[in-house]
Amino acid sequence: MDIDLKYVFWIGVALLCCALISILALWFGSSVEELQLFAFPVFSLGLFFLLRKLKTPSSGLMLLPLGIWLLMSFSAFDFLTFGNSRGMQISHLSDDPDLEEVRVFLRNYKKFERRRKAAPLNFLDRDLGLNSERESWLSNNPNVSLLISGNSRWLELFPRSDYLHLLSNTKLSIAGQGNSTPLVFRNYVDPGVLQESMLVKDRASGLDYLLLKGPRSVALPTQDQLLAFSFISWFGKALNAGNSAEELTKLSSENESEIRNAYSLKHGVYLNLRRIVESHGLWASNTPRGFISYLLGTSFLLKYHELEFMDELDLCVEKFMGEAAARVGQYENPELYVAIYNNAAVGKILSTRQDDIMTHAKNLLWKAANTRGRDGRLVKGTSTAYSNLLQLERSAAVSW
């Protein structure tokens, strides 16, 4: 069948337009998806007229993909990333009024998500500049496990308020609720800090001690985008696994402590958090991984205390809190620094009654109680450590 050369010419023009669009889009830094969005209708129209000239019955079907393209082109970005108030959300960034940085970040994360089967991340079209606004929004959206804010260089990650309950799979006893909180804590600890602390009972002495939840958020550098994506995905997967009702499956490991660790926390929680801690790269700050080590240590502490695994409790304090202390500096994140040393000390107290270990716990609590920020002031959480010191004195486990 003869083909009119003018139609061949127009097909060539369509392909040339596609090539020009691609070159211009690449020059201005557009993505492959945007190239497809612009080039598809040009090529499709050319193919449609060619098939129509050849009197091919299927030529009319070309109108279907064109219609789909028109529908998608009205809101290509919004349609793909908005409107899902579940899982992980990233809101407006403080240094990005035109949303250019967050769009690029999301577009690159979507590519990472497809390649690595990462946890999905959605866009929240809101400016949550204040911590109180973030807290309020998270409390009103219980299906959201992680809210991301901050700026384009340092993201602030806000997990849902009950994340320690999700990760440790335990029922937390929150201090400040009811009259069961010992008087020493009500007298010395700021009420706001008390509401964010957890009561644990030392079975040997019968006394209560306070564990700190730590900072409400952690700063994540984005200089190495692959590391940032991996951190967000694994942390999100751990929170989602903690929220899941699925029970653990047995690990194919010969390491008995690894198996017991994974059974004590939910399988997905443990493995995903360990991936963050063990990840290698050019971290601009070690604090994010220190935060995860702290979460693992505190989660295991709560779980082992509940199960009365005293030997494992002491080992988890040594391993995970030691990792956290090595990665978090006093001035880089003083609230996290206090929480690490306070919780490590409480773990020591709960695990054994040996005098040398009690002395070590006392030293850790003194370090936490005297932590000061760059301005020279005592930071949030120090009064909790001091109150635990008073409880330790009452237990008569240490000679003062």
Which CATH number goes with the domain that contains 150? 3.40.50
Q: Which residues lie across from 198 on neighbouring strands?
A: 174, 211
Domain boundary among 74, 102, 127: 74
Res 82: pLDDT: 47
Res 185: pLDDT: 76
Res 345: pLDDT: 95
- The verdict on 26 and 142 lying in the same domain is no
Token code pair at residue 62: 């070309």
- The verdict on 18 and 138 lying in the same domain is no
In whole angstroms, give the CA distance from residue 83 to residue 278.
34
Domain of 29 in residue numbering reads as: 5-74
- The verdict on 178 and 92 lying in the same domain is no
pLDDT digits (tens, 9 = 90+) for 32-76: 555 556 666 666 666 666 666 666 555 455 555 555 555 554 444
Q: Which residues lie across from 378 on neighbouring strands?
A: 372
In whole angstroms, give the CA distance from residue 218 to residue 347.
23
Q: Which residues lie across from 199 on neighbouring strands?
A: 210
- The verdict on 115 and 144 lying in the same domain is yes
pLDDT digits (tens, 9 = 90+) for 342-398: 999 999 998 877 778 888 999 999 999 999 999 999 998 899 999 999 889 887 644
- The verdict on 20 and 147 lying in the same domain is no
User: Which regions in the chain score pLDDT beneath 50?
Assistant: 1, 29, 59, 73-83, 244-254, 259, 262-263, 397-400
- The verdict on 170 and 295 lying in the same domain is yes
Q: In this structure, is residue 228 part of a structural domain?
A: no
In whole angstroms, give the CA distance from residue 242 to residue 245.
8
Q: In this structure, is residue 221 part of a structural domain?
A: no
Q: In this structure, is residue 229 part of a structural domain?
A: no
Domain boundary among 111, 144, 159: 159
- The verdict on 182 and 331 lying in the same domain is yes
Tell me the one-letter amino acid at 286.
N
Q: In this structure, is residue 236 part of a structural domain?
A: no
Residue 136's nearest CA partner among 147, 150, 152, 120 is 147
Residue 170's nearest CA partner among 265, 257, 259 is 265
Domain count, the chain: 3
- The verdict on 340 and 387 lying in the same domain is yes
- The verdict on 94 and 49 lying in the same domain is no
- The verdict on 114 and 197 lying in the same domain is no
Res 253: pLDDT: 45
Q: In this structure, is residue 299 part of a structural domain?
A: yes
Sequence-separated (6 or more) residues with CB below 8 Å from residue 363: none
Q: In this structure, is residue 141 part of a structural domain?
A: yes
Sequence-separated (6 or more) residues with CB below 8 Å from residue 103: 77
Q: For residue 177, how many C-alpha atoms fall within 13 Å in the half-sphere facing its CB? A: 9
Res 377: pLDDT: 92
Q: In this structure, is residue 227 part of a structural domain?
A: no
Res 245: pLDDT: 39
How far CA 71 is from CA of 66, 67, 75, 79, 391, in Å, comes to 9, 6, 8, 10, 66
Domain boundary among 25, 47, 74: 74
- 264, containing H or E segment: helix 256-264
- The verdict on 46 and 93 lying in the same domain is no
241: left (phi over 0), alpha (psi -120 to 50) or beta: alpha
Residue 361, classified by CB atoms within 10 Å of its CB into exposed (0-12), middle (13-18) or buried (19+), is: buried
pTM for this model (two decimals):
0.74
- The verdict on 22 and 117 lying in the same domain is no
In whole angstroms, give the CA distance from residue 298 to residue 128.
29
Q: In this structure, is residue 223 part of a structural domain?
A: no
Token code pair at residue 311: 């030997």
Backbone phi and psi for residue 236, each to the nearest 5 degrees, phi listed first = -60, -40
Q: Please tell me whether residue 362 adopts helix, strand or coil conformation.
A: helix
Res 273: pLDDT: 86
**Distance between start and end Cα atoms, the chain:** 103
